[in-house]
Amino acid sequence: MGRWEPNAAGRLREAAMDLYLEQGFEQTTVAEIAARAGLTARTFFRYFTDKREVLFGGAELLHERLVRALEDAPADATPIEAVAAALTAIAELLVDREFSGRRQQVIDANAELRERELIKMATLSAALTDGLRTRGVRDSDARLAGEAGIAVFRVAFDRWVRSKDDRMLAQVVNEALSQLRTLVAAS
């Protein structure tokens, strides 16, 4: 093995996903992930703090992009329009449907990982709520729009990873938001 191997992080991520799906998250060790990738455990820890980070790395980027997009939404945007802009922005970061689907399978199979995913979603919801409050939206409206936005995102994400068509996640998110608007208008 050479001192430097190209795309070490990607190889580690792929090896981890393969092993998580083959033998389960809990049963997989960092040493096994590194060996499958043709690297050392030490190299693994240069890229990831622990084996959960393979699944949850990038959460900070999603959070930052969501907050920035909400701040950048037009001043006259309604709360749900501002939320839509933020959700579209984070959806544009998630383009690898195969990886996302495999990741979701691993998370669905492990209660601890499901809990961590829920915490991540709650954090995004809180960021939407706080951002809407900053925009001058009344507290109860901000919370409702933030929670509804994350619910829409979760439904759209699930549809996207399970679908066989070529639509991007951002398109599925916007379709789900449109569906929610139709449901609310019909009430």
pLDDT tens for 134-149 read 999 999 999 999 999 9
pTM above 0.95, yes or no: no
Neighbours of 182 (CB within 10 A): 9
Query: Which backbone phi and psi does 49 adopt, to 5 degrees?
Result: -75, -30
What DSSP state is assigned to residue 48? -
CA 49 to CA 35: how far, in whole Å? 17
* pLDDT over 70, % of the chain: 97
Instruction: Tell me the pLDDT tens digit for each residue of 69-121.
Output: 999 999 999 999 999 999 999 999 999 999 999 999 999 999 999 999 999 99
Describe the chain by its helix, strand, coil percentages, rounded to 5.
75, 0, 25
All residues at 6 or more sequence positions from 65 whose CB lies less than 8 Å from its CB, including other chains: 89, 90, 93
Given this model, what pLDDT does residue 64 score? 97
CA–CA gap between residue 10 and residue 127 (Å, rounded)? 29
Q: How far apart are CA 76 and CA 78, in angstroms?
A: 6
Q: What is the mean pLDDT of residues 148-166?
A: 95
What is the pLDDT, as a whole number, of residue 145? Answer: 96
- CA pair distance 50, 34, nearest whole angstrom: 12
Q: Tell me the C-alpha distance between 82 and 145, whole Å.
A: 9
- Residue of 163, 184, 160, 185 whose CA lies nearest to 173: 160
Which DSSP string corresponds to 68-124? HHHHHS-TT--HHHHHHHHHHHHHTT---HHHHHHHHHHHHT-HHHHHHHHHHHHHH
- Helix (H, G, I), strand (E, B), or coil: what is residue 138? coil
Q: Alpha-carbon distance 12 to 19, whole Å?
A: 10
- Residue 162 CB coordination number (10 Å): 10
Q: Which pLDDT value is given to residue 149?
A: 97
